A = this chain, B = another copy of it.
Amino acid sequence: MQKRTDLAMEVRESFPRDNVEVKGVILTKEHFEKGELDVTTVNIKDEKGSTAMGKPRGVYVTVESPLLTVEDEDHGPIIDKIAENVESICDGLTDKSVLVVGLGNREVTSDSLGPKVTESLFVTRHIDREFGTAFMKENELGLVSAIAPGVMGQTGMEAIEIIQGLVDQTTPELVVVIDALAARSLSRLCTTVQITDTGISPGSGVGNHRKELSKTSLGVPVIAIGVPTVVDANTIVSDHLESVLTKQGYNENEIGSFLKEVMGQEMENVFVTPKNIDESVHVISQDLSKVLNKLMHKK
């Protein structure tokens, strides 16, 4: 029974008790803005932790706020907190040449976050090549390139093939990947930003970008910034059932065989997403573009 989530934080929550340490995994939580802005860090320190969590070793920071998706609110504190964590996980963005990759399908609203973020980036690599380093310094411009390559059904190519080609040709010092993620819980949709130094692992996102995008595969550090916009339909149904059956006193085995019966193939390739997904993706992509423009260009 696959209970899919791209959020390390949700994997950690699936362990029975919050206060018991999972070996090799360090969990820290901080609360800001009167509890309306939470930062959770899951640090997977070693192979034991990686196996337990089913995620690569590395740091996963989750910035969470119910206000993230509300256009009217002041997004200043959220943007600052995301920026602070991106900066720290990159060990400094500002002096590096950066390739930003917006993964996902711009034609599917819930998968269009990556393309939308790249659309609003201030891209400068060509300016540096035309006007030179002195001009860039004077104007406090970082060296930024960007692409939204589309998904495999549109290109016939794996994201890793496209990005490897770009890395070889343009030699950025850092790759930042933006992608829509799948969460396990509906309440996380569009309220959560995960920042990680592990890149993107197989099977992530709606678009099914299958090969890993990481420092190991690409040869340069890869930071991934993701926002859950969908829940797998199988996951939502089985989670619901499990919680009720547990309450009714069934044991794990009984629940397992019940679920096997319920869950059908027909729910593969479908997902759950909120009605107002267009507005949420719009608001959050604007925020993420601001975070990156600010960090990369010192303005």
The one of B107, B145, B153, B164 that contacts A126, using a Cβ cutoff of 8 Å = B153
Please tell me the number of chain A residues within 8 Å of chain B, measured between CB atoms.
Answer: 70
Q: Which of A133-166 contact B (CB under 8 A)?
A: 144-150, 152-158, 161-162, 164-166
A147 adjacent to B153 (CB under 8 Å): no
CA distance A70 to B142 in the complex (A): 18
A26 at the interface (CB under 8 A from B): no
A126 adjacent to B244 (CB under 8 Å): no
CA distance A158 to B126 in the complex (A): 8
How many copies of this chain? 4
B186 adjacent to A156 (CB under 8 Å): no
Interface string of A194-210 (1 = CB under 8 A from B): 00000000000010100
| Residue ID in chain B nearest A275 by CB atoms | B269
A33 at the interface (CB under 8 A from B): no
Best-surrounded residue of A122, A153, A261 (most CB of chain B within 10 A)? A153
CA distance A156 to B187 in the complex (A): 27
Which residues of the partner chain B approach A266 to less than 8 Å between Cβ atoms? 186-187
A144 adjacent to B123 (CB under 8 Å): no
The one of B153, B154, B233 that contacts A236, using a Cβ cutoff of 8 Å = B233
CA distance A127 to B119 in the complex (A): 29
Excluding A164-B169, A206-B275, A270-B272, 4 further A-B contacts by CB distance (< 8 Å) are A71-B122, A123-B156, A126-B152, A271-B272
6 residue pairs of the A-B complex, CB under 8 angstroms, read A72-B299, A107-B278, A109-B109, A148-B150, A165-B169, A186-B266
